[in-house]
Amino acid sequence: MTDIERKARAREATARLGGWSAGLDVAGVPEAVLERLSLVLLDTLGVTALGAALDEQRALRAAWNAPDGPAPLIGGGRSATVDAAAWLNANALVALELDEGNKYAKGHPAAHGFPAVLALAAERDATGADTAAALLAAYEVAARFGRAARLRAGAHPHGNWGVAGAAAGCARLLGLDAAATAAAIDAGAGLPVAGHFASATDGNPVRNAWMGASNVSGLAAARMAAAGIARNTGTAALSLGDLLGELDTGELTGGLGERWDVTRGYFKRHASCSFTHPAADAALELRGALDPSRIASVLVETHALGAGLASAEWDGRLSAMFSTPFAVAAALLDGEVGPAASGPGRLDDPDLRGLARRVRVAAAADLTARLPDERPARVTVVLDDGATLTREAPNPVGDADHHPLDERDVVRLLHRWLPGGSALIGRAADLARDLPTLRRVGEPLRGLAGLEN
C-alpha cells in the first residue's frame, strides 16, 4: 500500500472518530460504561494525589513555579494555569506506576488525556455531563489508537498513541464540530513522543514527563483546531504508522459506539509495571506456604512483552518498579508491593536485593501465545532442600477479566497508601460518582488540590 493510500485510510478513520467524539452525549451511554468511567476517574484522582505527595513531585512543583490559575494541582495544595496543571498532574499520576491501564491498548489511555481534560474543565467550569463525555472520548480514542499502533521494538508507549485521545477529549470539551474534532485528533497523532523503553528500566524520570507532554500536546492540538488552523490529513499513518511502527487503521473505528474499551481495563494493587503483576500475584499465593529465608532460587516465566523486565539491579524507585525480580522479592518478603516497597528506606535493604538476585526471568512460548487476552506468568520457587512450588496467574489481579476491583477496593487501597488523605479521597469519590449530573465542575475540581497548604 502506498503512503497516499495509507494516509487516505487514516484520514477517513480519523474523520469517523471526530464525528463520534463531537456527538458523544452521556445521556446515550450505557449505565455500566458510566459506572466504569466513574471508577477510572476515582482511581486517576486518587493516584495523582498519591504521586503528588512524593518528595520529588513537591520539588518539581516548586521548580516549576507555575502562576496561580483555575486548575487544581491535585493533592498539591493549590491551583495553577491549565497547561501547568495538566503537565504536573500527569507526571504525578504515573510516578508510582499505579495508574489504570488497558491490556488491549497496550498502555494507559486515561493517563494520556484525563489530566488535560480535567484542567480544561476546571478553567471552563464545564458541566458534569460535558466533562464526562470529554473524559470518555479521551479514553476511547486513545485506546483505539493504542490498539491500532504497533510500536517498534524498544519504543515505550507513553506519550505517543494516546495524544490523539487527549486531543479528542479537549476538543469535545471545547464544543468543536465533527470536522474540527477530527482535525484535533489528527494534530494530536502528529505530536508523538519517541521515547525508548530503556528510560524506564534505567530509572530515568523523563519517562514520567512523556505523559505530561501528551496532555499538553492534546490541549495544543484542540486549540489549533478551535483556531481553524489544524487539518485532518491522515497524519497518524506516517507518524505512528511509519516513523514509530505500524498502524492498523481498521482498529481505530471497529465497533465504534458498541465496544467500550473503558470497561476492559485494569486497576493496580502493586506499585510496579503491570508486566510484573502476575508474577507478584503468584508469589503472594506461594508466600503462605514457604519461609522466604529458605528460597534458593525463583524462576519467573512470562510472556515476551514482559520478559525484558529481568534486571535484579536498581538505582532508584523507577528502575525498581520496572524490575520483575524486585516485585517478586518484595511480594515474598513483605506480602505486598505497595509504594513503600520502592521508597528510599527500603530499596537498599540487603535481604530485598539478595532475594531479587536469586530471581530469574524467562520468556515462555506457551504464555506468549495467550496474548493479548491474557498477560500470564508462572512462578516456580526452589527451596534449599530441593523442593519446588509453582503457581500461575493468567492476568493481574485488578484486570476486568481477572478479579476486578470495585469502588470499595479502590477506596480501600487509596486510604492505605495515602495517610491523612481521607477528606480528599472522599471528595474524589463523590465527584467521580456524581459527575454526569453535576451542574458545574470548577469548584469540585479545585477542591481536590487537597493535602498541601
Residue 353 has pLDDT above 90, yes or no: yes
Burial 168-186 (b: 16+ CB within 10 A, else e): bbbbbbbebebbbbbbbbb
Q: Is 437 exposed, middle or buried (0-12, 13-18, 19+ CB in 10 A)?
A: exposed
For residues 416 and 338, the answer to whether their CB atoms sit within 8 Å is yes
Instruction: Give just the sign of the alpha carbon dihedral 352, 357, 358, 364.
Output: positive
C-alpha 244/C-alpha 160 separation (Å) is 9
C-alpha 261/C-alpha 140 separation (Å) is 6
Burial 48-65 (b: 16+ CB within 10 A, else e): bbbbbbbebbeebbeeee
Residue 80 has pLDDT above 80, yes or no: yes
- 229's CB contacts (< 8 A; 6+ apart) are none
In this structure, how many other beta carbons lie within 10 angstroms of the beta carbon of residue 230?
Answer: 28
pLDDT at residue 451, rounded to an integer: 61
Instruction: Tell me how far the alpha carbon of residue 178 is from its chain's centroid.
Output: 27
Q: Which set of grid coordinates corresponds to residue 7? A: 494516509
Residue 386 has pLDDT above 70, yes or no: yes
Position 60 confidence tier, pLDDT thresholds 50, 70, 90? very high
Whether pTM > 0.85 for this model: the answer is yes
- The residue with cell 495544595 is 77
Q: What is the pLDDT of residues 113-142, one digit of tens each?
A: 999 999 999 999 999 999 999 999 999 999
| Kind of pairing between the strands at 295-302 and 359-363 | parallel
Q: Alpha-carbon Rg of the chain, whole angstroms?
A: 21
C-alpha 105/C-alpha 140 separation (Å) is 10
pLDDT at residue 293, rounded to an integer: 93
pLDDT at residue 345, rounded to an integer: 85
Residue 350 has pLDDT above 80, yes or no: yes
Q: What is the pLDDT of residues 299-331, one digit of tens each?
A: 999 999 999 999 999 999 999 999 999 999 999
Q: Which set of grid coordinates corresponds to residue 243? A: 516513523
- Residue 70, CA atoms < 13 Å, CB-side half-sphere: 14
C-alpha 299/C-alpha 133 separation (Å) is 45
Q: Which set of grid coordinates corresponds to residue 279? A: 508474577
pLDDT at residue 288, rounded to an integer: 87
- Helices and strands (DSSP H and E) totals, the chain: 20, 8
Q: What is the pLDDT of residues 175-234, one digit of tens each?
A: 999 999 999 999 999 999 999 999 999 999 999 999 999 999 999 999 999 999 999 999
pLDDT at residue 432, rounded to an integer: 98
- The residue with cell 519446588 is 388
Instruction: Tell me how far the alpha carbon of residue 261 is from its chain's centroid.
Output: 13
Position 344 confidence tier, pLDDT thresholds 50, 70, 90? confident
Q: What is the pLDDT of residues 405-416, one digit of tens each?
A: 999 999 999 999
- Percent of the chain at pLDDT > 90 equals 97
Q: Which set of grid coordinates corresponds to residue 107? A: 498502555
Domain annotation for the chain: domains and CATH numbers? 3-269+410-446 (1.10.4100.10), 274-393 (3.30.1330.120)
Question: What's the length of the chain?
Answer: 453
C-alpha 441/C-alpha 93 separation (Å) is 20
Q: What is the pLDDT of residues 252-277, one digit of tens each?
A: 999 999 999 999 999 999 999 999 99
Mean pLDDT, rounded, of the chain: 96
Mean pLDDT to the nearest integer, 87-112: 98
Residue 106 has pLDDT above 50, yes or no: yes
Q: Which set of grid coordinates corresponds to residue 384? A: 534449599
Mean pLDDT to the nearest integer, 4-19: 97
Q: Which set of grid coordinates corresponds to residue 421? A: 488523605
In Å, the largest CA–CA distance within the chain is 72
pLDDT at residue 419, rounded to an integer: 87
C-alpha 433/C-alpha 410 separation (Å) is 13
Position 453 confidence tier, pLDDT thresholds 50, 70, 90? very low
C-alpha 347/C-alpha 249 separation (Å) is 43
Map residue 246 onto helix, strand or coil: strand
Residue 378 has pLDDT above 60, yes or no: yes
Residue 452 has pLDDT above 80, yes or no: no
Q: What is the pLDDT of residues 285-303, one digit of tens each?
A: 999 889 999 999 999 999 9
Map residue 149 onto helix, strand or coil: strand
Amino acid type, 315: D
